[in-house]
Structure 1
């Protein structure tokens, strides 16, 4: 049985799968040109896989980031997919501009690397927060305690002078009362000693000296009671002010603790503090940052290091052909428009000439008709006849 002869141009009948076409789309390759580039098919599939991996990583990283700041996970998920799509768009734009025919390769490559590093550095943060979640929670607790201590010190310094003034005033009033009470106690002791014979004159009973000492004691006690009555409200007011200050400090400390949270910036701060105080973590941290940066740079790196095959040549030639065809089509369209305008002008001239030829005899008859009526009318002026003929017989110039 003879084999059917297939023309040379129809022997390659490669049909890519849907997934392969999707990978080609991720790599920004043109399916129509890549179908005939046998070697480049796999290269662009590899590039597409790197873009797919970066896309998935970006979506997960941004979803976790939004989960730390959004109130609901159902809000964080669509936001994560949205930002992942933006990263995908940026990556496709970066690798689309890389080809072997670029005249200035260094500057675009530096720009792409800077953009990729910037995005990758930010994307690495949520991943690191997820990996070190337990350590970060512990460090966050320690950081909050330090913040609380700093806040307490600030509040203490804020009310320090006022409390010192009130305390000094209270102490002064209390000392004044104590000194007065000491005088009263001494006078009372002198009076008692005089009455029982243990002091003074040594005579038992209420005598003149004892009476004098009693009067002195009663006088001092009355002064003390009067002083106590006037000073106790002042001391109570000072104690109330001091208690108000203490209550205010406690309230502000309680209010300050309500601002403690587990948000993104708080976790980042805890991570930085953890790295500073934990040398064992530093090396692993920077290693993970490099790895995560490489994940973001994968599409650019893959597009740069993979050798170029026939696809780029086909794309360049196809673009050159399309440019040439656009120029040719515009030129031909211009010629057709000029031909149309020329023929239209010629035909319009002929139509106008024919119009005047056909209406020549009718215009002459109409002029004769005007002339006959003019003769029949009584006292008509020639100027009136001329004006009427101008309005109904003569033509006007086009503007």
Structure 2
């Protein structure tokens, strides 16, 4: 034991990260290094959490400095939680296993969440490409939904338009037929075969004029209706484009969109899925390492010092 040992600032910081009491651990020669190791792992987890949260916020905030500040804040929150987890782990007994299970579940939950931004960063190019394809698919689905909603009204208008065209076409063919019949009658190429405006020719001319008049009257009557139908169809197309444009403006490459794209990549690509699960295990291990190291490293004289000091303080309080 070296009671006069003076730790440097690096050691003090690592001990603080490991939740060790400086006045006690500096007198525990072997435990100095143990707590320094735990402190290094805590520092790595802290940096990892800060970077992961910064990237997470950068997907929803355009200003990088704001994302960095929020990332630092959330990294500090994760550090505080991890320090609480480490501090709560003492000598392993039967009574502590339930507490350890809870702390382990909490650490795993944090690790799994923190792995998501890191994985998005590692698969950034592939995720952005898949997100673009997903957004295109969403656009197609939106367009199909709009078309389905307007299908009945559109079909009704198209049917009315076709009926008008069919009626006008029939009348126009009648006009052409009667006019041809009149011309053939007058030039002797058809009908009675007699030249000139004979009685038969006059009758055919009257029929042609009548057919022309009926066609023109019908055209005058149906043209406004036809124009109204065309206007309604055009309006529907314009409204569809406006709605699609509005929907497209809502599409983005935010965090949830990228997570969905990553899930699609994992589902459709075995190579990506294999590396994804390996990386999840690795990143989860980074978050769990401080807790694991605290459990794996043997307790030394520091624990004895801490327990003794605590018992002395309790006895002093109880004696007053």
Q: TM-score, normalised by structure 2?
A: 0.97
State whether structure 2 residue 257 is matched by structure 1 residue 269: no
Shift of 1:13: 2.1
- Pick from 126, 142, 154: which aligns with 1:163? 154
The question of 1:297 aligning with 2:297 is answered: no
Residue 86 of structure 1 corresponds to which residue in structure 2?
A: 77
Q: 2:182 aligns with which of 188, 191, 209?
A: 191
2:110 to 100, 114, 119: 119
1:13 alignment partner, SS class: coil
1:342 matched residue in structure 2: none
1:89-112 superposed Cα distances (whole Å, 9 cap, x missing partner): 101100111111655221111111
User: Secondary structure in 2 aligned to 1:14?
Assistant: coil
CA shift digits 1:348-380 (9 cap, x unpaired): xxxxxxxxxxxxxxxxxxxxxxxxxxxxxxxxx
Write the distance in 2 (CA, Å) between the matches of 1:59 and 1:281. 25
1:18 matched to 2:4? The reply is no
Match of 1:224 among 212, 215, 223: 215
Correspondence 1:134-153 to 2 at 5 A: 134-153=125-144
Query: Per-residue deviation at 1:183?
Result: 1.7
RCO higher in structure (CA 8 A, sep ≥6): 2
CA distance in 1, matches of 2:170, 2:47: 82
Partner Cα distance (1:325, 1:101) in 2 = 27
- Pair 1:62-2:47 in alignment: no
Q: Does 1:45 align with 2:36?
A: yes
Deviations 1:284-339 (A, max 9, x none): 1000001000100011001000001111122111111111101112xxxxxxxxxx
Give the SS at the match of 1:69. coil
Report if the CA contact (8 A) 2:3-2:26 is conserved: no
**Residue in structure 2 matched with residue 339 of structure 1 by the alignment:** none
Q: Verify: 1:28 aligned to 2:19, yes or no.
A: yes
Structure 1 distance, partners of 2:251, 2:63, is 19
Indicate the RMSD between aligned Cα atoms, in angstroms: 1.3
Residue segments in structure 2 that go unaligned for 5+ positions in a row: none
Offset of residue 80 of structure 1 = 0.7
**Residues 101/302 of structure 1: CA separation in 2 closer, same or farther (3 Å cut):** closer
For these two proteins, the number of residue pairs brought into alignment is: 320
CA apart distance, 1:199:
1.7
Q: Distance in 1 between matches of 2:34 and 2:221?
A: 97
Unaligned runs of 5+ in 1: 1-8, 330-399
Q: Distance in 2 between matches of 1:268 and 1:102?
A: 41
Distance 2:3 2:211 in 1: 125
**2:308 counterpart (317, 324, 333):** 317
Runs ≥4 in structure 1, deviation > 4 angstroms? none
Give the Cα separation in 1 of the matches to 2:30 and 2:14: 15
1 CA distance for matches of 2:202 and 2:14?
Answer: 117
Q: Secondary structure at the match of 1:205?
A: coil
Paired with 2:288 and 2:135, the residues of 1 have a C-alpha distance of: 36
**Paired position in structure 2 for 1:388:** none
* Alpha-carbon distance in structure 2 between the residues aligned to 1:101 and 1:247: 71
Structure 2 CA distance for aligned equivalents of residues 101 and 235 of structure 1? 87
- Alpha-carbon distance in structure 2 between the residues aligned to 1:223 and 1:24: 102
